Structure 1
Amino acid sequence: MKKSTRWTVGGAAALAVLAGGAGVAVAAGGDDEDARPDVAITGEALDRASEAALAHLGEGEVTDTEVGDEEGYYEIEVTLDGGGQVDVHLDEDFTVLGDERDGDEAGDED
């Protein structure tokens, strides 16, 4: 094989490896939040977290939950009686850390 042919083949192989790596990075998603699936709260923890969130808000219905939320250990999504939604963030002991209402720009934590 000629020297120029080896360089061409080697360069093409290197580009293929780089392109493949970029494809894997895009397919895996560059955002850590998207990389892991949401895990719902279950059992007694669900009961305690729901109770704490509803007591904090004074109204509404629990419509979704998540363990391992970025703002706290638990996140409880509550749909308010008027239709708005609030995410209530709790620590591992079910203490309310704050809430984020629909439309809050900065997450207006309490």
Structure 2
Amino acid sequence: MKRKGKWIVAGVISAALIGGGTGLAVATAGGDDSEPPITGSALQKASAAALDHTGGGKVTGTEVGDEDAYYEVEVTLDNGKRTDVHLDKAFKVVSSAPDSGGDEGSGED
């Protein structure tokens, strides 16, 4: 009887480990297409350059290594619209465009 119980416990533990490992792999694989955020003094410089370019607003997202430029700063304007400001390594504006990230957070306040 004791031997049968050990096998059941071992099977349950194995299933939990396999299932947990699969969940972990799926959870970490979902973020492969996102770039890391800007940090430190670069964040301050990039934010200042982006806000100067847009004439105000609030920085709501940043990325290093964006496909369009070295830095990308998402700014939510006072009217609620979002724009992406693309900067080079020297924090000079390369381009800007309305944010194409979908409807998240677009509700009226």
TM-score interval, smaller chain:
0.5 to 0.7
TM-score when normalising by structure 1: 0.60
1:64 aligns with 2:61: yes
For residue 40 of structure 2, what is the aligned residue in structure 1?
Answer: 43
- What is the rounded CA distance, in whole Å, between the counterparts of 2:49 and 2:95 in structure 1? 11
Residue number in structure 2 paired with 1:3: none
Partner of 1:91: 88
Runs (4 or more) in structure 1 with deviation over 4 Å come to: none
Any idea what SS the aligned residue of 2:95 has? strand
CA RMSD of aligned residues (A): 1.8
- Report how far residue 59 of structure 1 moved: 1.4
Unaligned runs of 5+ in 1: 1-27, 104-110
Deviations 1:67-100 (A, max 9, x none): 0000000000000000000000000000000101
TM superposition score normalised by structure 2: 0.61
Number of aligned residues: 72
Shift, 1:101, TM fit: 1.0
Whole-angstrom distance in 2 between the partners of 1:60 and 1:68: 23
What is the letter of the counterpart of residue 96 of structure 1? V
Question: Identical aligned pairs, as a percentage?
Answer: 56
In 2, the alpha carbon distance for the partners of 1:37 and 1:71 equals: 13
CA distance in 2 between partners of 1:86 and 1:100 (Å): 6
Structure 2: gaps (5+ residues): 1-28, 101-109
Structure 2 matches for 1:70-89, cutoff 5 A?
70-89=67-86
